[in-house]
Amino acid sequence: MSETLIANRHPLKVSEMAENLIGSEIIKLAAEIQEKIRNGERIFNYTIGDFDPRIFPIPQELNDEIITAYQNHQTNYPAANGMPELRKVVSEFLNDREGLSYSPDEILISGGARPLIYATYITLLDKGDTVVFPVPSWNNNHYCHLSEARSEFIETQPDNDFMPTAEEIRPHLKNATLLSLCSPLNPTGTVFDKEQLTQICDLVLEENRRRSPEQKPLYLMYDQIYWVLTFGKTEHFNPVSLRPEMREYTIFIDGISKSLAATGVRVGWAFGPQRIMDKMRAILSHVGAWAPKAEQVATAKYLQNKTALNIFLEKFKAEIDMRLHGFYDGFMELKKAGYKVHAIAPQAAIYLTIQLDLKGMKTKNGVVLETQRDVTQHILDEAKLAVVPFSAFGSSDDSTWYRLSVGTCNASEIPDVFLSLKKVLSELS
């Protein structure tokens, strides 16, 4: 019997989880953009939450340390929870920069933040447990699917810079196991202020006081991977500094991916209660999600070079801030001119939140933009501007808001973006 007949008689069945896993909406959009670029179109592509290393290279000293580590044959397995010297340096870094006191044994190193988020979900959640998270937010829906958890999301509002409030969260906590928060937030580039986050911490503590010792606590996963990248008067706050009692319930996600433009270097860390870190380490040791040993050794040495780190961050942040404000100013000029666009002033990360409120308008060819998907496509096809709709981050399909990422932006092209966009907007009626 031929292989084709056998395959037809026996379809290649997979798990229900794998069968129903939804692909990344951003990757789908990226594929369309790349096809346009291959066909010779000039696209202003601000979709990806990454850096163009030709524009934003990693620190030279870190680059040199990585090369040296490989030359010194640091190529065997690292320790399961991370190289001891790196965990010690991260402990000191957190103390120096955030005033957080975590021992090396309470820190877990992994190959970037994603395995750590996955391990947090798998460690804390049983099948059917509830995860509460705001939308827009990055990938919580997919991690719920992978861990067979039940998702309960809160659609946030532009009036609060798309950050969830305590009052919005309160009704969802009674039966929840995990509250997943991110600040600075991907996709919005906005942050919790001190009062907002304190109120949320108080809710978590109140809920845990209500629960019996036999019940699983309500945990908080606090993703702060962008926390170093704040601009102007924006301050980053964390739960444990605001409410020390939160230490028992908080798992932090952090690393160098964004703060050092080192997304491909793959060095991330989680920190929190040691019992939870130990369980996460055990899971990741079976997955093999270690950060490469050479990169760990190099990162430990680089983070101790405080002078080089400070010089890098000062220049790096200034370059990102300049781009964010360049786009913000451009959108506000368009708004002032009467076009139906808007933006939230830059606060942090590498993202600008923009609004394209164009649904219902007619193109120069008389075609009505009937849906927000039509708006997204029209702006891509005609203005050559590629941005990610908040619907890709869990918001409703008719959300008029978008993420614009500046990590791949040449500053010199910003004026061209607005010439193109203004022309297309002026043709709508």
Identify the pLDDT of residue 192: 98
Q: Which two tokens stand for residue 146?
A: 């992978």
User: Mean pLDDT, the chain, as a whole number?
Assistant: 95
Higher pLDDT, 398 or 10: 398
pLDDT digits (tens, 9 = 90+) for 345-375: 999 999 999 999 999 999 999 999 999 999 9
Identify the pLDDT of residue 69: 98
Phi, psi angle pair for 20, to nearest 5°: -105, 10
Phi, psi angle pair for 375, to nearest 5°: -60, -50
pLDDT digits (tens, 9 = 90+) for 172-216: 999 999 999 999 999 999 999 999 999 999 999 999 999 999 999
Identify the pLDDT of residue 226: 98
User: How many C-alpha atoms does 149 have within 13 Å on its Cβ side?
Assistant: 29
pLDDT digits (tens, 9 = 90+) for 89-118: 999 999 999 999 999 999 999 999 999 999
Q: Which domains does the chain have, with CATH numbers?
A: 3-56+311-426 (3.90.1150.10), 60-305 (3.40.640.10)
Confidence band for 10, pLDDT divided at 50, 70 and 90: low
Q: How many whole angstroms separate alpha carbon 254 and alpha carbon 259? A: 10
Cis omega (within 30 of 0) for bond into 239: no
Q: Which two tokens stand for residue 135?
A: 């939308």
Pick the closest to residue 279 from 311, 251, 246 (CA basis).
Answer: 251
Mean pLDDT confidence for 300-321: 98
Is 60 exceeded by the pLDDT of residue 5?
no
